[in-house]
Amino acid sequence: MLLAQSSWGAIQKPTNEVLRIGITQEFENLNPVLMQMMATTIIYKMVNRNLMTMDATPKWIPQLVKSIPSLANKGARIYTENGVKKISANWEILPNAVWGDGTPITGYDVKFAWTVARTPTVSVGEREQYDQIEDIKVDEKNPKKFTFIYKQAKWDFARLGTFYVLPKHLEEEIFNKYSKENEGYAKNSQYTRNPTNPGLYNGPYRVEEIKLGSHLSLIPNEKFYGKKPNIKKIILKLIPNTGTLEANMLSGTIDMVSELGFTFDQALAFDKKIKAEHLPFKINFKEGLTYEHIDLNQENPILKDVRVRKALVYAINRDNLVKALFEGKQKKALHMISPMDPWYTDDPKKITLYPTDKAKAGQLLDEAGWKMGPDGIRVKDGQKLSLPFMTTAGNKTRELVQVYLQKEWKSVGIDIQIKNEPARVFFNETTKKGKYGGMAMYAWISSPENTPRAQLHTANIPNAANGWSGQNYPRWTNPEVDKIIEEIDVTFDPKKRKNLVAKVLKAYTDEVPVIPLYYRAEVSATPVNQSGYQLTGHQFSSSNTIENWNLQ
């Protein structure tokens, strides 16, 4: 009992004066139209708001707008123009919604963001949210009101969770000056050059200070239209090595670890320590839609052969992997859609399964011309079967997974060269531009029933011509899948949509552009006295409701 009391006494519980949060990845750019990393999204939700979002239920709810238009509430309507079915939808920004410098948020800001995101020289992660809109008409008498004209009648037209708004009064002049240069706008945006400008933000907090490689501090946005936040200062501390997060909590350097922090195995171990030593923390767990996987670069001559890709999957024992690292509490992944999603299927009639079979892996490699060499590594035409394997440096679990897989693949004659990078470089440069060469391990997180256009459609292969936009990092091309994805978009019948998604999953598992590893649960660590906090399990992070956080 004395030891337990000593542990409580040594660690000071935080108050509403300041909350210090540990995060393992550094953001790449706070400009919402440009951001692609989860780290940036977590910060973005603290300082900005979307037209709409998804709560933890999960349910779509309005944020910057009064309501979400639908066919049922007559906020939207389907009509035909030149033989094409289209949708028009009416939106209205909240009357008291303003930027941090007091400038009202209007439909002109929405239209400006739409213009920026559709510019080929601007690198956008998911351009489809913007490209599906043909025009935006702002009401001149009341600029808070605006109408979206959609190119096609799509079933999810009003799910604009990744449609972001930009402050036209601050960014338009810069955009006009640099938009013709590749990545010119990104380099000169005020989010890059002057990120502490209050006018860039419309959420509960605004950026007070940024020290790259160290921390970012936030203070309440006095102009926020919603509930006044309880905590007077938020400091996000960059701690790239996941193994040191626990030590930072116990030393009082940080008070909390975000969902982009502890790996699952670390969270399990720390949870046991908290309970045994009566420490003033809580580990939060929630099953989610996060998909840990390995992209296989289709531009690598070795990986162009589907037999090699299939052999890579047959050669590994993913069941043992999840048992060893996660006590079986995270499930082996079969494809990109999580069991938490209504579109999930594990039906062997609809998808191709890959049980561990090293003999099958060896047979496929033999058929592909890769013969076992005297040193245990396969050779073809004098070239060794060797592949580079990259992930985010400092992530303890990913590094353990790499070593495990390296041994598995060596057992069938494949040489794996591990080379990792800081997350900021890995996501902002290497994966996007295909510089990882062979294999890249990381995670996708999505919302339920999210059409995988950004990750799978040929049009979303990033390249210089499209400003490195899109998230098809394996550079997979399948014309039939492209057609099915386009059909999913315009199919309003839920059952038919699910059947179409199954066809995509069949091609995805047949051709193996990606190796599925496991579906990742969300974990975080919070002070025992923190209330109003809730993990969501999807792409709209817990920080989306940061104004409700309280440290009593």
pLDDT for position 2: 38
Q: 25-238 domain in CATH 2.30.40.10? A: no
CA distance 287 to 446: 13
pLDDT for position 329: 83
Over residues 301-317, mean pLDDT: 98
Over residues 256-282, mean pLDDT: 93
* Residue pair 259/288 in contact by the 8 Å Cβ criterion: no
pLDDT for position 439: 98
pLDDT for residue 5 is more than 50: no
Domain ranges of the chain: 25-238, 288-520
For residue 74, which of 87, 84, 60 has the smallest C-alpha distance?
Answer: 87
pLDDT for position 6: 39
Class of domain 288-520: alpha beta
Decide: helix, strand or coil at residue 299: coil
pLDDT for position 10: 63
User: What's the mean pLDDT when you consider all of the chain?
Assistant: 94
Paired tokens of 411: 């057992």
pLDDT for position 1: 34
For residue 310, which of 501, 171, 480, 516 has the smallest C-alpha distance?
Answer: 516
pLDDT for residue 12 is more than 90: no
**Residues near 110 by beta carbon (within 8 Å), at least 6 away in sequence:** 51, 91, 93, 136, 138, 146, 165
Over residues 304-312, mean pLDDT: 98
For residue 432, which of 303, 301, 295, 552 has the smallest C-alpha distance?
Answer: 295
438-481 confidence digits (pLDDT tens):
999 999 988 899 899 989 999 999 998 888 888 999 999 999 99
pLDDT for residue 158 is more than 90: yes
pLDDT for position 7: 44
pLDDT for position 539: 86
477-524 confidence digits (pLDDT tens):
999 999 999 999 999 999 999 999 999 999 999 999 999 999 998 999
Binning pLDDT at 50, 70 and 90, where does residue 431 land? very high
Decide: helix, strand or coil at residue 406: helix
72-126 confidence digits (pLDDT tens):
999 999 999 999 999 999 999 999 999 999 999 999 999 999 999 999 999 887 7
**Helix (H) or strand (E) run with residue 380 in it:** strand 378-380
pLDDT for residue 149 is more than 90: yes
Decide: helix, strand or coil at residue 288: strand
Over residues 50-73, mean pLDDT: 95
pLDDT for residue 304 is more than 90: yes
**Residues near 451 by beta carbon (within 8 Å), at least 6 away in sequence:** 156, 485, 488, 489
**Residues near 22 by beta carbon (within 8 Å), at least 6 away in sequence:** 237, 239, 245, 248, 249, 254, 256, 257, 258, 261
Q: How many CB atoms lie within 10 A of CB 282?
A: 16
397-425 confidence digits (pLDDT tens):
999 999 999 999 999 999 999 999 998 89
pLDDT for position 552: 86
Residues in a beta bridge with 290: 445, 520
pLDDT for residue 59 is more than 50: yes
* pTM score: 0.82
Over residues 303-308, mean pLDDT: 98
